[in-house]
Amino acid sequence: MENTPLVSQQSINSRYVNHLVFLFGIVYFAQGIAQSGGLISLPLNYYLKEVMQFNELGATHYLAVLAIPWVIKPVYGLVSDFISLFGYRRKSWLLVLNLFTCIGYFWLAEIADNDQLIMALLLTAIGTAAADVIIDALMVENGRKFNMTAQFQAVQWFWLCVAQIVTSILGGWLAEMADPGTGLRTAAIITMAAPAIIAILSWLIVKEEKTSMDVASLKATVAGLRETFRSRLLWTTILFLILWNFSPGFGIPIYYFMTDTLNFSQSFIGHLGAISSVGSILGAWLYGKYLSNRSIDFQLVFSILTSAFSTFSYLGALTPTSYSSLLFITLSFFFGITSMIALLAILTLAARACPEKAEGFTFAVLMSIINGCAQLSAMTGSWMLVNWFAGYLAPLIILSGAATLFCLFLLPSFKVRKMVVVSERM
């Protein structure tokens, strides 16, 4: 009988962990629909190309504005870590921010003026990015508390990939079957449901004691942050994230190539996105099964080599042939596998670098570096395509793959394995 309270507490913890697994799965599925790369993505790209008449560089620059809310993610993390809303640090902010996103998509669905389009999109990006920070903070702090970080991440990214499959197919169908304006507005109306679901579930499931701002705790945490930013571990992680994520991107250029040169339908391009997401699910499974227990330096070397190979493989699909469709199906599938393995390795490295009591802020700093460098990568790639390579994709792809391989030669100086061992002891 003496063990009864302990068993009871373990049972309560187990139920709560199961509830968190459910929450993270549903939330990331909804996030996959609601974010700018979700259901709205393909109808928006098609709208920018056909209605607003943007070329690759113009479309990339226009969409770059939507990266700003993701780059300033540390601000949301800082607010969530230290400032309570209605007495809660997490669940109240999730409720308000997701309602904020709903308003943005409602505005987008009603817009008839292109000048207002970017403002509505920016509103949705702010709400989605801020809510994402808080969900990540919940994942990091509960993952550390229950020793479930890897499992939580696997659930999150699995359901995000499932959402990407659904949104790729549906987004492609909307872009194909409706005129660009109708497709965009319909996607916005459907997407409104996703943040509403997140708001309701997070309020019902997340267990959180009411708190108020504790000045003494704030000072102690800020002091801890200063100490953390003096550590080689965090700066090593930051440096690697910058080098890994900044390589000339070719996402928008390859979309224009598939549309204008290969004459792929928008529906088929949507299916390619779904196929890539299926590959991502397989990549997440392969990572969890074979790579998650390997050393982090092995994971990074493997990710660099396979990502570079996947990038270079696109060189074989640049000449239009009767097999172009099959080639892009194959490339999309394997690109999904390699990109997910690389992403999970990077996120594992980033999560281990976060100090206690400021998980939201520190993880948001690292994620903002990833998002900022990814957007700079996309802008640089499109600029190079137009200004350096006269519209030819081959040199851009070669440069992108070479930049990825360059990270391989920098790993020995980082001593990543030693850094991660130190972080685990913390």
For domain 8-425, say whether CATH 1.20.1250.20 is its number: yes
Q: In angstroms, rounded to a whole number, what is the distance separating the alpha carbons of residues 61 and 382?
A: 9
pTM here? Answer: 0.75
Give residue-wise pLDDT tens across range 1-56.
455 555 555 666 777 788 888 888 888 888 888 877 788 888 888 888 888 888 87
Give residue-wise pLDDT tens across range 145-180.
777 776 787 788 788 888 888 888 888 898 888 888
Is the pLDDT higher at 94 or at 227? 94
Burial of 415 (0-12, 13-18, 19+ CB in 10 A): middle
SS percent in the chain: helix, strand, coil, step 5: 80, 0, 15
Helices (H), 83-228: 91-110, 114-146, 149-177, 180-191, 193-205, 215-228
Give residue-wise pLDDT tens across range 253-278.
888 899 889 999 988 988 998 999 89
Q: In angstroms, rounded to a whole number, what is the distance separating the alpha carbons of residues 11 and 318?
A: 57
How far is the CA of 248 from the CAs of 79, 210, 340, 378, 397, in angstroms? 33, 46, 19, 6, 8
Domain ranges of the chain: 8-425
